[in-house]
């Protein structure tokens, strides 16, 4: 694949980068916070899309890797005084290792059984961490405010977390694109359509699925590490919050599953909508109701998601939008 002849990829990365630069150029911390949440959800949704959209495995408990990455990195920064960058990468690698170990048996399950198993894994991990004293048990861990002085103070540390999230977001989009365009990605899509037929065609389903699962675990773990570093506190409940997983699935469905652009659009629309409803004086009291209603309508009437719908409507867009 010639990298330079991939206008969709470059255009997408450029648009994300331009938007991500707005808070940096304007120096607006409020915009930074808004964009950090959008990028966080982008990472989560794009990662879920790799296992769900390309491979056809609905991972309800995918947030487990967000929590693992967060906990490992937090522990390394707090206990070993490790720098954020290294701690984040180690958090990601530990998540990949756990994903491979869990994926090998669990990915043998199909459909609802796999979905249920992923919920179980998340709950089991949350309970394990809540009882694992080195990770602070049920109280979790928190940074002494002084931790941030190593990064030039809390203000600079929060900007550093943002830069990190921008890099991770760009990386996950690029990875999602390359997976989709690769032979490996075609194998995943063949498994999604019919695993038995794919196997007859010479695809090794187990190896493909575990690899896809490991890739999809890596990026949420990096995002978790950055997010909880910024938060200054990590607790089992918020780290392994099942409904954040479900929000990720909704974003994939909203944007269009199985596409590169879909999770990006889904994350942006969903997060902007939620943020608007929460901070709007008129809607703030029933923001969850409105968000739920809108999502219900979209899922009922735009089943392919926004990007899927656009691709269905126009052959030109089908060629352009990945």
Q: Site residues (CB under 8 A) for other proteins?
A: 28-30, 32-34, 36-37, 127, 130, 137-140, 142, 144-146, 148, 153-155, 158, 230-233, 235-238, 241, 244, 275, 278-279, 284-285, 287-288
- Which of 111/237 has CB closer to other proteins? 237
Minimum distance, C-beta of residue 308 to other proteins, in the bound complex (Å):
28
Taking the complex as a whole, the smallest distance from the CB of residue 97 to other proteins amounts, in Å, to 27
| Nearest-approach distance from CB 236 to other proteins, in angstroms | 8
* CB of 29 or CB of 317, closer to other proteins: 29
Q: Report the greatest alpha carbon distance in the chain.
A: 59
Of 65, 22, 16, the residue nearest 223 (C-alpha): 65
Shortest Å distance, C-beta 99 to other proteins: 23
Nearer to other proteins among residue 5 and residue 243 (C-beta): 243
Residue 15 to residues 49, 166, 173, 254, Cα–Cα distance (Å): 20, 12, 12, 20
Q: Which is nearer to other proteins, 22 or 29 (CB)?
A: 29
Least gap, CB of 165 to other proteins (angstroms): 13
Count of CB atoms within 10 A of residue 244's CB? Answer: 18
Written as one string, the DSSP assignment of 11-60 is: HHHHHHHHHHHHHHHHT-HHHHHHHHHHHHHHHHHHHHHIIIIIT----T
Of 161 and 214, the one with the shorter C-beta distance to other proteins is: 161
CA atoms of 180 and 140, how far apart (whole Å): 38
Closest CA to 35 of 218, 178, 230, 176: 230
């Amino acid at each position: 694949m010639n990298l330079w002849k991939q206008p969709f990829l470059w255009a997408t990365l450029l648009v994300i980068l331009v938007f991500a630069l707005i808070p940096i150029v304007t120096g607006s911390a409020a915009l930074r916070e808004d964009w950090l949440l959008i990028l966080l959800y982008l990472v989560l949704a794009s990662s879920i899309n790799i296992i769900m959209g390309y491979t056809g495995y609905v991972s309800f408990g995918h947030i487990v890797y967000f929590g693992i990455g967060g906990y490992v990195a937090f522990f390394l920064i707090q206990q070993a005084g490790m720098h954020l960058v290294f701690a984040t990468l180690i958090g990601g690698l530990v998540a990949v290792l756990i994903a491979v170990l869990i994926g090998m048996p669990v990915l043998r399950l199909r459909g609802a059984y796999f979905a249920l198993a992923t919920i179980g894994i998340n709950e089991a991990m949350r309970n394990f961490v809540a009882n694992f004293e080195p990770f602070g048990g049920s109280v979790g861990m928190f940074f002494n405010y002084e931790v941030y002085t190593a990064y030039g103070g809390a203000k600079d540390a929060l900007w550093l977390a943002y830069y990190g999230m921008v890099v991770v977001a760009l990386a996950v989009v690029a990875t999602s694109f390359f997976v989709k365009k690769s032979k490996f990605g075609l194998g995943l899509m063949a498994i999604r359509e019919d695993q038995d037929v794919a196997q007859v065609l010479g695809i090794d389903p187990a190896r493909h699925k575990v690899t896809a699962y490991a890739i999809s675990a890596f990026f949420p773990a990096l995002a978790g590490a950055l997010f909880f570093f910024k938060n200054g506190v990590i607790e089992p409940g918020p780290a392994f919050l099942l409904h954040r997983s479900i929000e990720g699935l909704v974003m994939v469905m909203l944007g269009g599953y199985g596409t590169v652009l879909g999770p990006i659009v889904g994350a942006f629309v969903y997060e902007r909508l939620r943020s608007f409803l929460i901070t709007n004086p008129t809607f703030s009291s029933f923001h969850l109701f409105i968000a739920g209603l809108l999502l219900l309508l979209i899922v009922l009437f735009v089943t392919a998601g926004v990007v899927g719908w656009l691709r269905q409507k126009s052959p030109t867009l089908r060629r352009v939008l990945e």
